[in-house]
Amino acid sequence: MKKKLATVWLDGCSGCHMSFLDIDERLLEVLQFFDIVYSPLVDFKEFPESVDVTFVEGAVSTTEDIKKIKEIRKKSSIIVAMGDCAITGNVPSMRNSFKLNSVIDRGYAENSDKHNKVEFFDVPPLLTNVLPVNAIIHVNYYLPGCPPPADAFYNLIKSILNQEKFDVFQHTRFGK
């Protein structure tokens, strides 16, 4: 029976997902062993009850992200923090050195000629600080890089499948 693979996109630029797709024709090989059951790349609305491997891109930035990542932890056997945002906070965490209100003002009011006041409705509120994924849940594998190279994805998936040891720094590093 095929194993289940999911990918999640939190506060990131989707570059990690693009890099994942860059494994090119080897995707077909991966799909022989895995079904992609939830991902921005496919059209399933609900995160399934039990998933074997979940790749998480992006940092935790909103209350919604926290809810989501906790649910995903419950339903996944293995969680891979993919990319620097998920591991360290990376670029999204640059706002942590400033007050949240001044960041919102700079982003939505100061530079806008139409709005001088910011009103949020129907979107989840931002956390005071952007957090790495492992600040909320336990993470099984870390795949640093911005983004991690396609080969790193492919080799990690292979290692998980064959239950082999994965030497992360052979393939990638912070900021790669």
Residues forming contacts to another protein in the complex (CB under 8 A) are 81, 84, 87-91, 93-94, 96-98, 129, 132, 134-135, 139, 142, 144, 146, 168-169, 173-175
At a CB cut-off of 8 Å and minimum separation 6, what does 35 contact? 2, 3, 4, 5
Least distance from another protein to the Cβ atom of residue 122, Å: 29
Q: Which is nearer to another protein, 44 or 174 (CB)?
A: 174
Q: Counting beta carbons within 10 angstroms of the beta carbon of residue 119, is it exposed (0 to 12), middle (13 to 18) or buried (19 or more)?
A: exposed
At a CB cut-off of 8 Å and minimum separation 6, what does 172 contact? 143, 144, 145, 148, 149, 152
Q: Which is nearer to another protein, 134 or 159 (CB)?
A: 134
Least distance from another protein to the Cβ atom of residue 136, Å: 12
CA distance 30 to 147: 20
Least distance from another protein to the Cβ atom of residue 106, Å: 15
Q: Which is nearer to another protein, 39 or 129 (CB)?
A: 129
- Backbone phi, then psi, for 142, in 5-degree steps? -115, 130
Least distance from another protein to the Cβ atom of residue 11, Å: 14
Q: Which is nearer to another protein, 76 or 172 (CB)?
A: 172
